[in-house]
Amino acid sequence: MKKILLFIIAMGIAGSSGFAMHRYLNQHKDLSNPIIGQLRHEFAAPDLDGEFQNITQWDGKLIFLNFWATWCPPCKKEIPAFIELQQAYGDQGFQIVGLAIDDSDAVKQYAEKMGMNYPTMVVQQAGIELAKRYGNPAGVLPYTVIINRNGEISNTITGELSKIRAEEMLKEYGIKL
């Protein structure tokens, strides 16, 4: 009986530790990612209307470059918050840019349904290679890259980015909440 109780306690401690580590890593700069501090990579991709957009057009803004897909539940969960953030802080030089690793028809339909108010480019399978260039070797989704006003990659977030954490980050970068 004591062995079972000790096992249950050990499992609880291990689970709690893992959860705490996960929250810590998602709330702090990933200094272990070698992309941090580098200049953002230039690329162009078609938007929802098939027009090519270049990342350079948002130079000078604080960019949240978000890799996502319509088949990814955590991706879909963060989009309403991104819509709200873009609406609230876009006039302060903040820009969300979506990069959908998905089929263009599915992305266009989903973007219209959600009322996405930020540019979204459809990168399909090529987006996986682009995500690797931006510090995501495993191709995990969602994945958000923070590009500061100087064009430097200053943070990466693997997994869902909550609205609360996004607003904390915006404040760190001088956006008035």
How far apart CA 73 and CA 115 sit, in angstroms, is 17
* Cβ-contact 89, 67 below 8 angstroms: no
pLDDT tens track, the chain, 177 positions? 666 655 556 555 655 544 444 444 444 445 578 899 999 999 999 999 999 999 999 999 999 999 999 999 999 999 999 999 999 999 999 999 999 999 999 999 999 999 999 999 999 888 999 999 999 999 999 999 999 999 999 999 999 999 999 999 999 999 998
pTM for the full predicted model: 0.81
